[in-house]
Amino acid sequence: MPTFLDRHDRFETSPEKEAAIAEQIRSGRPTEDGVRGVNMFLTADGGAYCLMEAPDAAAVVRAHEGGGQTIRLEDVVEVRTLV
Residue 7's pLDDT is 94
pTM of the model: 0.89
Please give the C-alpha separations between residue 27 and each of 20, 39, 42, 55, 56, in angstroms, as whole numbers: 11, 12, 20, 19, 21
Strand partners, 3: 53, 79
The mean predicted confidence, pLDDT, of the chain is 93
> In this structure, which amino acid lies at residue 22?
A
Tens digit of each residue's pLDDT (9 = 90 or more) over 18-40: 999 899 999 999 998 899 999 99
Q: Residue 41: pLDDT above 90?
A: yes
Q: Region 43-49: what's the mean pLDDT?
A: 94
- Extents of the domains making up the chain: 3-79
Residue 77's pLDDT is 98
Name the 3-class secondary structure at 6: strand
- What superfamily does domain 3-79 belong to in CATH? ORF SCO4226, nickel-binding ferredoxin-like monomer (3.30.70.3090)
Q: Say how far apart CA 27 and CA 47 lie, in whole Å.
A: 24
